[in-house]
Amino acid sequence: MKRQTVTVAGIDIEFHEEGDGPPVLFFHSGRGFQPQEAFVGLLARKYRFIAPSHPGFGTSGLPDWIDSTDDIAHIHLALMDQLDLRRVKLIGCSIGGWIAAELATKSPERIEKLVLVGPEGVKLGPRDRLDIPDIFAMPHEQLIKLTFHDPAKGQVDVAKLTRDEMTVIARNNETLALLAWEPYMHNPKLRHRLHRVDMPVLFLRGESDGLISADYLAKYAKLVPHGRVETIAAAGHSPQTEQPEAFVAKVTAFFEQGA
């Protein structure tokens, strides 16, 4: 996998690329992009897989004027222009799904098909109750139990990490808080724009996801004209990590349907 850097709107954006074929753009979750994960190589066998690190994640820059997922969606549209990606299949996971939904409302003609994996982004329940548990107010061990079917897969041995790797984790966490803290995990305007997302949309959820409920995802899917929901067994908030083969099978079937 090639790691490259390109300057977009004055911001250095890191991205990884592997494979040939139709382009698939991948927007990572708040954990950042992990190029060694199995699903990456599986998708790269059939597609040109391109995964940018959002501003403030990985080694991508973060200027003072960026403070929302909406801002980042505009940056990724500019990145698509720079890489001459006129029309792509797009996958977004967690906050990456939120960013993907924002982007799809702006230029739906650029997205052939869209996969949203455990996405946040809209407020669907009562004002006085969170739709998504407060990840910033819970111990790390509790968060791992909510986000992984097998919590052992979410454990990181920090003693084995380099200083640079620790810095990336800290940056990722800091930027996630900047984007999602207030209003918590949603853009109040997004739900009123989702009618523009007129391409086929697959909403994916790990069956054991303790952050994104089945009810939340079903209501989210009803906000787009052509949305459907599927579930991956024995997986939590990151089914691409816990069940890479099942994840790639569902995504590939969706991408190739009607091709």
> How many other C-beta atoms can be found within 10 angstroms of the C-beta atom of residue 39?
22
Which domain does 238 fall in, by range?
Answer: 2-256
Question: What is the structure's pLDDT at 153?
Answer: 87
Q: Which of 136, 145, 118 is nearest to 217 (CA)?
A: 118
Closest CA to 252 of 199, 202, 198: 202
Residue indicated by tokens 């890479």:
244
Provide the pLDDT for residue 157. Answer: 85
Peptide bond into 183 cis (omega under 30): yes
pLDDT the model gives residue 259:
55
Are the C-beta atoms of residues 208 and 241 closer than 8 Å to each other?
no
Residue 156 pLDDT exceeds 90: no
* Phi, psi angle pair for 237, to nearest 5°: -70, -15
Task: Please give the pLDDT value at position 159.
Answer: 86
The pLDDT score that the predictor gives to residue 158 is 84
Bridge partners of 90? 25, 114
Which pLDDT does position 151 carry in this prediction? 93
* CATH code (residue 156): 3.40.50.1820
pLDDT by residue (tens digit) across 94-142? 999 999 999 999 999 999 999 999 999 999 999 999 999 999 999 999 9
pLDDT reading at 251 higher than 60: yes
Strand stretches in the chain, DSSP E: 2-8, 11-18, 23-27, 48-52, 88-93, 111-117, 201-206, 227-232
The confidence band for 258, taking pLDDT boundaries of 50, 70 and 90, is: confident
Mean pLDDT of 143-164: 91
- Given the structure tokens 């459907």, which residue do they identify? 228
Q: Taking the CA atoms of the chain, what radius of gyration do you get in angstroms?
A: 17
What's the whole-number average pLDDT of the chain?
A: 96
Q: How many domains does the chain have?
A: 1
Q: What is the widest separation between alpha-carbon atoms in the chain?
A: 48
Which residue has better confidence, 1 or 206?
206
